[in-house]
Structure 1
Amino acid sequence: MRLAPLILASLLAGVSIPALSAQQQPAPAALPGEGAEDAKLKALFHASDEASLKRNPIMALFRGDQRYADQLGTYYTDAYIAAEKAANEADLAALRKIDRAKLTPVNKIAYDVFEADQLRALKGYRPEILAVSKYLPMDHFTGFQSFYPDFASGQGAAPFKTVADYENNLKRNAQYAAMYDRVIGLFREGMQRRIVQPKLVVTNMIGQFDNLIAQGVEESVFYGPVQKFPDGIAEADQVRLKAAYAAQIRDVILPAHKKIRDFLASEYLPAARDTVGTSDLPGGAALYAYAIESNTTLPLTADYVHNLGLSEVKRITAGMEAQKEKVGFKGSLQEFFTHLRTDKRFQPASADALREEYEAIGKRVDARVREQFSLIPKTPLEIRPVPAYREKTDAAGSYMQGTPDGSRPGVFYFNTYDLPTRYTWGAETLYLHEGVPGHHFQISLAQENAALPAFMRFGGNTAYVEGWALYAETLWPELGMETDPYQRMGGLTDEMLRAMRLVVDSGLHAKGWSRDQAIDYMVTNSPMSQTDATAEVERYIAMPGQALAYKIGQLTILKAKAKAKAALGAKFDPRGFHAAVLDTGALPMPVLEKKIDDWVAGVK
């Protein structure tokens, strides 16, 4: 089973750090109106979460629970897979013993989410899925090397306030290095079964390890925690810890990185495949069907997704033509794309200038956001560049959640790799998506809501999380954004990206498209740079189905909004609608649609 969906998707979906003590937390207290069945449900959620945190200690640490802070987890083992599957089955059996009809309305939603999540997770443990996914343990987007170095750097989620924190990090780092032996073992077994990654994925992973290795010891991201100590760490401890971190990087981490790098380059790359689609793997069609459902929460076919994408591309193209006319550009849409890519006035002067642009956008959004939202998170938002070691393969923007108590901010990361291609005409829509009211609002509001069970506060699904962020982009008129036609073109470009993803992802994994065919399609239908289109396509190759969730989720929310507006007329209040969408965490699409129907009935 691939670890990345567990780790990375959970990060994107809101796993973070609430203020928890080192002791086991009690089950949530009963709320007014709750009865015996509600108590059983809450007890189940609490027990399930406690057990999950013990099996997944790094998830506990992302949430600030330090009971298992010296552990990383038994990922990439048969025992881990068996334990996760058994927990899913046991949780479902316990859930079915609870009388849903006797639950409060909010707990009925929680019941439905929990059931849907468990059923969807169990499908990933079917023999035909594991027979493929187990032997593809890592890629350049979803391997430990894509997030753990930042996590352990002193600038990420791992705490560095006490000597014990530093010692625990050393223990986790040792387990991180040892983990690569298990990864190599799975890759080798996959080679025997002809289940291997595409060559381009392997080449990208090699590049990531090259970057980490090139940092050496004292310039290593893993040395970051001892570059600066917090108050209260004794001088003798600082000297000792600096020596220990340097020795570990030199004698443990660098050798582990070199070992897997050399394995990938000398053994795995020659065996890797030239094709890129999941359908080219033994059992790949079943794996892609599961990827579609697990990412969209809907049982959609590849053909349906592909055709929906083609229709959305056609609609958005018409909007782009209108913006071209609005700015008075004389020429074809393709020539307009070239103009947007090459005119130097759209190229940021520096990384600092780009950061200042995003900060200015944030201030303008903050001035209007309460017109649309009654729920505002207390967690602050910071804007930072993507760390250099991963900027080449990272998206243009990304989000890292903060803490529910606001002690660590959420972070909007903007990418400065190949800076001239980070066009300023895309800045406003990117901020709406990653920052306010996109990921930062949705993730922060969920994890700040202590009345929700932990799996709803800190879990989620990609269709909701990314669908909400893409929906947030559509609020540009209400928030006073994209009044400039070039910024509106940026908004259309970002929406076009998500529409093209439906076409390209299904093309790659179900219709035999090549990497170059997919890149050409994206460059032809948008002003995306070759750099961004290449990174996007290589992401879809590495993570089948993930890119489908954005547009499917957005269209589901827009459909629910249109239905609510039609039903409520003058009674429709966007603040109430947004609260109804956001106040119970990330919901599967069918559960969300039913919740909005019930909200409309309540307003009427």
Structure 2
Amino acid sequence: MAPGTGRTDASVALHALFKESDEDSLRRNPLNALFRGDMRYADQLGDMISDAYFDAERAAGERDMAALRRIDRDALSSTDQLAYDVFQRQTELALRALGPDILPLSRVRPIDHFNGIHVFYPDIASGQSAAPFKTVKDYQDSISRHHQYARIIDASIARFREGLATGVVQPKLVVRNVIDQLDLQLKEGVEGSTFYAPLKAFPADIPAADQARLRAETAAVIRDEIQPAYRRLRDFLANKYLPHAREGVGLLHMKGGPKLYAFLIEQNTTLPLSAEDVHKLGLSEVARIQREMEAVKTQVGFKGSLSQFFEFLRTDPKFRPASKEALGNEYYAIGKRVDARVGEIFSTLPKTRLEIRPVPDYREKTDAAGSYMQGAPDGSRPGIFYYNSYDLPSRSTWGQETLYLHEGAPGHHFQISLAQENADLPAFMRFGGNTAYVEGWALYAETLWDELGLETDPYQRFGGLNDEMLRAMRLVVDSGIHAKGWTRDQAIKYMLDNSSMSRTDATSEVERYIAIPGQALSYKIGQLKILELRAEAERALGDKIDLKEFHAQVLMTGSLPMNILEQKIDRWIASKRG
């Protein structure tokens, strides 16, 4: 036992490793600190694209693994063993991503239309995200980040050139979408730019002279650095890169693509699944959900086929929002209904507030129907559920309840906030995570509609099935595109044939899978594992099961790889059975 700590020497060494590793990571990745509300590196955007950055990440991972191996796992408590296993698994996957087989296939494709820096950095700079704009220093830090942002845009061009030389390139579809996004941001000009938005409403205590200086400096960096960098990237992509980009949208058409896709499946699901495993599971789930959809169709008295029912739901005016305001107001009403019941099945509720906002104009065209942005760990910045009101006639009111459960409460907002707020967890478990757990939990949260008193309207129940169908189709379509050679149009048709999605949403979804292969697999795989664990607990414990306690077991130790979550729930079941 280490003197004065109440911990064994092994435990002290483990937590010292976690702390040192986290501190080093924040220095290398300052935006992660910013999202935590840690302002020590707020004037830094980070490198994120150079060989030196990747070398530093790899060296840190190797150092962490060596230190972990020196710690006697058997001398740790069960909680510390859990943390040990998660840290080991996450570090191993990170090192594989940085290895010679995978990194050359990813670093030369630094930007896509879904998650490139040109998409997420404007959010950070907008005054509506993680970066605060309360003091003169906050504004000065933003200007400092803007200078670095322009340099990263130029560095992205160099990475794209490298890909042209090695034959590892993006699909033409992705490149055209990025060009459209850059054109849209260039059209904003200087004072209409998202980067300029925080300058339009200064806090009252910032002196007028400072306001004038900050406006001038911000306008200068937008005009003289960011926009010229955008033009250079846009012109390079249009004139040099696009002619050599690939026609085939799937990774099997890219040099090294099948090897990369196999890794991405494991990285995103945390399970050793093949593309064929994923495809077959998806087909099975699609068939099951179709049977439940048929039951709803019968319940509402619709006489036509399921495909005709889909078309009815897509096109009937009674399912269209009356206005953008009406769409938002219904989400507020759903939120209140969830708040009234959620304490019945959760023992701990987030302290962080949840706000509901429309997707900003500059990214609504290519954004999903809904999304979530995490709040600050101390609750000073709320979590945000974004709903998309672009192309309003394509939006359906019958999908609102399940979307809120997923993106808001008790989905992403609960999972991310409860982990962040748990200061007893090591930082990598509070703030890190894997997609199968994060998205699997959010999709599991959709299945709690009955306990929360939602989806009493059969059309809202159909909306829940439609969203579940989306995640099942993702298994089929993502693997179809990247392992079986499906085209964009083939994938869109499959989604329209098997759901009541609008063509706008189906197109956006398919183009997302093309841009970020494998990520969409995580939702259904993670959900099925959590449902399997709940069913096992219900079988084993019978009347003894407490849903509040089960949810606490799943949620209160942060994001866990699926195999480690399964081991934890098995231990909990055994302890409850005595």
Q: Name the TM-score, length of structure 1 as normaliser.
A: 0.94
Q: How far is the alpha carbon of 1:231 from its aligned partner?
A: 3.0
One of 228, 251, 255 as aligned partner of 1:278:
251
1:478 aligns with 451
Contact 2:354–2:385, Cα closer than 8 Å, also in 1: yes
Instruction: Please identify, of 387-396 and 101-110, the stretch whose mean Cα deviation from structure 2 is larger.
Output: 101-110
One of 68, 79, 87 as aligned partner of 2:41:
68
Instruction: Please identify, of 163-172 and 316-325, the stretch whose mean Cα deviation from structure 2 is larger.
Output: 163-172
Alpha-carbon separation, structure 2, partners of 1:61 and 1:30: 35
**Aligned residue type for 2:528:** L
Contact 1:275–1:514, Cα closer than 8 Å, also in 2: yes
Q: How far is the alpha carbon of 1:126 from its aligned partner?
A: 2.0
**Aligned residue type for 2:59:** A
**Aligned residue type for 1:243:** A
**Aligned residue type for 2:21:** S
Count of matched residue positions in the alignment of Structure 1 and Structure 2: 576
One of 10, 16, 24 as aligned partner of 1:51:
24
One of 337, 360, 363 as aligned partner of 2:310:
337
Alignment of 1:86-485 (within 5 A): 86-485=59-458
Alpha-carbon separation, structure 1, partners of 2:336 and 2:48: 42
Contact 2:182–2:234, Cα closer than 8 Å, also in 1: yes
**Aligned residue type for 1:217:** V
- Local SS of the residue matching 1:270: helix
- 1:482–1:242 distance in 2 versus 1, CA, 3 Å: same
- 1:422–1:31 distance in 2 versus 1, CA, 3 Å: farther
**Aligned residue type for 2:170:** Q
Aligned-CA RMSD value = 1.2
1:16 aligns with none
Alpha-carbon separation, structure 1, partners of 2:475 and 2:243: 31
Does 1 or 2 have the higher relative contact order (CA < 8 Å, sep 6+)? 1
**Aligned residue type for 1:596:** I
The reply to whether residue 84 of structure 1 matches residue 57 of structure 2 is: yes
1:11 aligns with none
- 1:82–1:437 distance in 2 versus 1, CA, 3 Å: same
**Aligned residue type for 2:408:** G
Contact 2:265–2:521, Cα closer than 8 Å, also in 1: yes
One of 551, 556, 570 as aligned partner of 1:583:
556
Contact 1:140–1:542, Cα closer than 8 Å, also in 2: yes
One of 475, 487, 492 as aligned partner of 1:514:
487
- Local SS of the residue matching 1:331: coil
What are the superposed Cα offsets for residues 205-254 of structure 1, whole Å, 9 maximum, x if unpaired?
01111111111111111101111111321111011111111122111111
Alignment of 1:492-503 (within 5 A): 492-503=465-476
Gaps of 5+ in 1: 1-28
Alpha-carbon separation, structure 2, partners of 1:407 and 1:298: 36
What are the superposed Cα offsets for residues 405-435 of structure 1, whole Å, 9 maximum, x if unpaired?
2111000000011111110000000000000
- Local SS of the residue matching 1:398: strand
**Aligned residue type for 1:590:** N
Alpha-carbon separation, structure 2, partners of 1:96 and 1:333: 56
Contact 1:306–1:507, Cα closer than 8 Å, also in 2: yes
What are the superposed Cα offsets for residues 523-557 of structure 1, whole Å, 9 maximum, x if unpaired?
00000011100000000001010000000000000
Q: How far is the alpha carbon of 1:31 from its aligned partner?
A: 10
Alpha-carbon separation, structure 1, partners of 2:216 and 2:153: 24
Alpha-carbon separation, structure 2, partners of 1:249 and 1:82: 31
Contact 1:136–1:190, Cα closer than 8 Å, also in 2: yes
**Aligned residue type for 1:182:** A
Alpha-carbon separation, structure 2, partners of 1:248 and 1:121: 35
Alpha-carbon separation, structure 1, partners of 2:495 and 2:348: 37
Instruction: Please identify, of 441-450 and 153-162, the stretch whose mean Cα deviation from structure 2 is larger.
Output: 153-162
Alpha-carbon separation, structure 2, partners of 1:493 and 1:292: 24
- Local SS of the residue matching 1:538: helix
Alpha-carbon separation, structure 2, partners of 1:424 and 1:183: 40
- Local SS of the residue matching 2:448: coil
**Aligned residue type for 1:398:** S
Q: Report sequence identity in percent.
A: 65
**Aligned residue type for 1:381:** L
Gaps of 5+ in 2: none
Alpha-carbon separation, structure 2, partners of 1:375 and 1:30: 33
Alpha-carbon separation, structure 2, partners of 1:385 and 1:32: 48
- Local SS of the residue matching 2:108: coil
- Local SS of the residue matching 1:201: helix
Contact 1:34–1:104, Cα closer than 8 Å, also in 2: no
1:545 aligns with 518
- Local SS of the residue matching 2:494: helix
Q: How far is the alpha carbon of 1:131 from its aligned partner?
A: 2.4
Alpha-carbon separation, structure 1, partners of 2:5 and 2:318: 59
Q: How far is the alpha carbon of 1:30 from its aligned partner?
A: 10
Alpha-carbon separation, structure 2, partners of 1:310 and 1:31: 57
Q: How far is the alpha carbon of 1:346 from its aligned partner?
A: 0.5
- Local SS of the residue matching 2:95: helix
1:562 aligns with 535
Alpha-carbon separation, structure 2, partners of 1:493 and 1:441: 23
Contact 2:37–2:377, Cα closer than 8 Å, also in 1: no
- Local SS of the residue matching 1:412: strand
Q: How far is the alpha carbon of 1:32 from its aligned partner?
A: 7.8
**Aligned residue type for 1:548:** L
- Local SS of the residue matching 1:161: coil
Contact 1:33–1:104, Cα closer than 8 Å, also in 2: no
**Aligned residue type for 1:528:** M
Instruction: Please identify, of 234-243 and 316-325, the stretch whose mean Cα deviation from structure 2 is larger.
Output: 234-243
